[in-house]
Amino acid sequence: MEKDFLILAGKKFSSRLLVGTGKYKSLEETAAAIKESGAEIVTMAVRRANIVKPGEPLLEDFISPKNYTFLPNSAGCYTAEEAVRTLRLAREMSGRSLVKLEIIGDRETLYPDMVETLKAAEILVKDGFSVMAYCSDDPVMAKRLEETGSAAVMPLAAPIGSGLGILNPLNLKIIIESSKIPVLVDAGIGTASDAAIAMEMGCDGVLLNTAIASAKNPVLMARAMKLAVESGRLAYLAGRMEKSAMAVPSSPVVGKITG
């Protein structure tokens, strides 16, 4: 089989698993888990990055930008204005135009504010950014984001950090089938089987953080997620067997020996 790349903003990636960098016990654990995950894209919340505390360790001290594509993330923003300003600052500091747009609309559920997200996406795309947009699992909103020129849509599977898995597979399937840009599940993945299911449905990738960082053994879970994404993708490409309401024998029923 030819190499199966994930293509984002014209760049090829071998891994379809994207990982975050928050919630780990230490930067050493962060680095070990990310390495084991096989991920090539690592998200970084710009508003939580250490850029003003000299002497304290930096994420880049443990995870080299030479080995990973850092994806600046507007996590913690609640308006389009905040998100645009944050991601412009990130580009000024890093030169990176591929960004994850995230605008929260509710502090309890952490659901995205889609009105503000659409507004910010339009501004950022016109400003030369390649936008990967965190969004609700609403097919209409996902299509609107695609129409802004966004590089990818990232519908939630369940609320951020909940670990509930894919709660609305029907909507997710509609988004996948109607999108002409990559669809990556973002938020709500709890364990390896959730990631595998998302990939078997036809998602182009999975972005997760808490499922690894909050596991009892994050490094081992990172490995499990890597294998889950790979196996789910292979199953999707292979095409599953048709379901049947009745048993279908696996042995031939013609030419069998009779008494």
State the SS3 of the chain. Answer: CCCCCEEECCEEECCCEEECCCCCCCHHHHHHHHHHHCCCEEEEEHHHCCCCCCCCCCHHHCCCCCCCEEEEECCCECCHHHHHHHHHHHHHHHCCCEEEECEECCCCCCCECHHHHHHHHHHHHHCCCEEEEEECCCHHHHHHHHHCCCCEEEECCCCCCCCCCCCCHHHHHHHHHHCCCCEEEECCCCCHHHHHHHHHCCCCEEEECHHHHCCCCHHHHHHHHHHHHHHHHHHHHHCCCCCCCCCCCCCCCCCCCCC
Choice among 23, 25, 100, 216 that is catalytic:
100
Which residues does residue 43 pair with via DSSP β-bridges, in sequence order? 71
Say if CB 101 and CB 125 are below 8 A apart.
no
Annotated active-site residue 100? The verdict is yes
Contact of 76 with 45, CB cutoff 8 Å: yes
Q: Count of CB atoms within 10 A of residue 22's CB?
A: 15
Residues annotated as catalytic (active site), given as ranges: 100
